[in-house]
Structure 1
Amino acid sequence: MADLSIVPGGELVTYGETLPIALVIADSAHHRAEAVDALALAGCAARGPIGFDEAARDFSRYDGLDLVVIEAASAPEALLERVFARAETLARERQLGIVATILPEQIDGAAAQLLGSHAQLLCDPTKAERVGAIAMSTMRGGRAVREVSGEAAVAQLRRLNEEMARIAETLVRLTRETDGPSAIDHRTGVRDSGNAYRGPETAAPIEIAASEIRGVIRARRLRSQFFEADLFADPAWDMLLDLFASDLERRRVSVSSLCIAAAVPPTTALRWIGTLHEAGLFERQADPADRRRAYIALTAKAIEGMRAYVGAIRRAGLSLV
């Protein structure tokens, strides 16, 4: 049987079974409407919506899904952890994508369950960010979106094209370019120096003070007092510096704190955290005292890369920026 979905404007459109299908989990009518609207713009059919009470019990009976959309802003706190856990299990078993819209105070709890390439976390997102996240999730899932017919479908595709044009800037940030097929080890995200000459190596370990790295971070933040912050947005490097300083200080960093250190909107920071986690530079560490909290740290390879970089900067007589 074909699936029905509501597109912006209120009309019903019938899709063939080849379109990506998403299960919407939301309690409030407002958040349900936002999710269904974004799904329609991304060319997906919506199933449900169902409430958090039902989702917390079990939603594995829903077959043929490609994506689970969770609107956590309206969720009862007592049910949220259970729904995240069930969604994570189902996503891994069936190779599904997850798009979860969360509040700032829900960042740590969501990251404790849903950090990975299959899940995208959005915090106070724009419509464009919602559509972009859904589109990326369905593309990663490999589900082909085939042509649909009818005037309503044509109008929907026109709206989709217009919306996707607005999110082009968001999506292009996720594009990775390399200098060659072996330039970067994508399992670690650290460039292989190969046989390139790097100058004399010192036998003694490199001594790096956390205060030195914190000073670099403060200097980077000072730029926003004189220039628009967006001109120098570099969340990946800002987070690497913050985690490196925290490692030197033997201090643990929560996901929400790292989002603040990134100096970009939370949704952008969460996207970069997921990307760097997937690249093998970040690792998630559970809080044994609180399952709702997750910490983020640099992997051993990332720490090695940061130390090597600082050493190279010093040998060249340059300043760390």
Structure 2
Amino acid sequence: MRTIDETDSYATDTNALLIAEGAPRDAVEALRLAGVRLRSQADFAGAGAYLDAPALDLVLIEAAGAPAGLLDEILARADAVARRQHTSILVAMTAGQLDSAIHLLGPHSHLLCEPNLAERLSAIALARAAVRHRGVATLHDVSREAESVRLQRLNEEVARIAETLARLTRGEDGERHGVRDPGNQYRGPADDAPAETSAHEIRAVIRARRMRAQIFDADLFADPAWDMLLDLFAARLEQRLVSVSSLCIAAAVPPTTALRWIGTMHDNGLFERQADPSDRRRAYIGLSPKGADGMRAYISAVKRAGLALV
């Protein structure tokens, strides 16, 4: 656990805390290449003392090698800090740690699964864009500006693009996306009658979608949001709890992409955390009442029209 000396830092507009076990070379290199000032570094046992530090813009958590109990505790604390101070949280985790992502589903979190250097750099650019979106002033080290002006301009372009992507992904363009309000739509006399469905029927739709992916390139039809909605709706009918790792598999996309979509759906009120009734320390992911109502309304509308679920 240590504070990074200013002479070792890379002066930009973003102060970062790195939480990791050992010496995470990829994380340090990504921060250096992105021009982010590494203000402090701590292991998981000592990270709590640094999380509430003022003027902290980015918390980068390298979960690999973290003690299991401490990982969940630090992620939950980081989420609380993000919600309170609007700090950007970036977590790189292994495939075996995906279920811990349940602690970080807020709009200020960026979750990566076994990322390479390029993926880390892209996520840091998104985090920096979020800092600028909050109105944080940009500061430059005058002694280095002459030699780094081209890099700074490149960073500005990356951040501008990343900010646009962040708004589109998180729904921060002034509009909350989710289930449309049906209040202004035409409703016939039988429109309020819900159509019956079963978990078996929904699972058959999911199987048909997976069969399509066996014949055509899966990237042509990637639709992780809908795949996850179908899976969670079937699980709701089955009265079954779904873990984050299981939902990532159901999304049929790389884990990092699935995690991003889980966060987006949670931000828009369609997904929610669900506590394990037998162990309050555990949590799962499920449809919110809004998401469940939307799925029932969709299925009823499709069946009334005589169409097949897809």
Scaled by the length of structure 2, what TM-score is found?
0.84
Q: 1:76 aligned to 67, 90, 94, which one? A: 67
The residue type paired with residue 26 of structure 2 is E
Distance 2:27 2:269 in 1: 31
Stretches of structure 1 that go unaligned for 5 or more consecutive residues are 7-11
Residue 269 of structure 1 aligns to which amino acid in structure 2? Answer: A
What is the Cα deviation at residue 291 of structure 1? 5.2
Change in CA separation of 1:131 and 1:172 when aligned onto 2, cut-off 3 Å: farther
Match of 2:295 in 1: 306
Give the Å deviation of 1:251.
1.1
* Paired residue secondary structure (2:196): coil
Report the secondary structure of 1:106's partner residue.
Answer: helix
Q: Mark the runs of 5 or more structure 2 residues left unpaired by the alignment.
A: none
Percent identity reads 52
Report deviation, 1:43: 4.1
- State the 1:53 CA deviation: 2.5
Instruction: Describe how 1:11-30 pairs up with structure 2 within 5 A.
Output: 13-15=10-12, 19-29=13-23
Give the counterpart of 2:224 among 235, 256, 259. Answer: 235
Q: Decide which of 108, 116, 121 is 2:106's aligned counterpart.
A: 116
How far off its partner does 1:239 sit?
0.3
CA distance in 2, matches of 1:173, 1:203: 33
Flag the 1:159–1:291 CA change in 2: closer, same or farther, 3 A: farther
Partner of 1:139: 129
The more displaced of 202-211 and 19-28 is: 202-211
Matches within 5 A, 1:95-174: 95-111=86-102, 113-141=103-131, 142=134, 143-146=136-139, 150-154=145-149, 156-157=151-152, 160=155, 174=169
* CA pair 80-90 structure 1, distance change in 2 beyond 3 A: same
Task: Name the SS for the 1:190 alignment partner.
Answer: coil
- Per the TM alignment, residue 274 of structure 1 is displaced from its structure 2 partner at its CA by 0.6
Higher helix share: 2
Do residues 189 (structure 1) and 178 (structure 2) align?
yes
Contact 2:274 2:283 in 1 (8 A): yes
Alignment partners' CA distance in 2, 1:298 and 1:42:
37
Given residue 153 of structure 1, which amino acid in structure 2 is its aligned partner?
S
- Count of residue pairs the alignment pairs up: 302
Check 1:38–1:125 CA distance in 2 against 1; reply closer, same or farther (3 A cut).
Answer: same
Task: Calculate the TM-score normalised by the size of structure 1.
Answer: 0.81
Which residue of structure 2 lines up, in the alignment, with residue 263 of structure 1? Answer: 252
Q: 1:204 to 1:155 in 2, by over 3 A?
A: closer
Distance of 1:219 and 1:138 partners within structure 2: 41
Cα distance change, pair 175–52 in 1 and its aligned pair in 2 (3 A): closer
Q: Give the RMSD, CA atoms, in angstroms.
A: 3.2
How far apart are 1:305 and its partner, in Å? Answer: 1.1
Judged with a 3 Å threshold, the aligned counterparts in structure 2 of structure 1 residues 265 and 164 are, in CA distance, closer, same or farther, namely: farther
Displacement after TM superposition at 1:238 (Å): 0.4
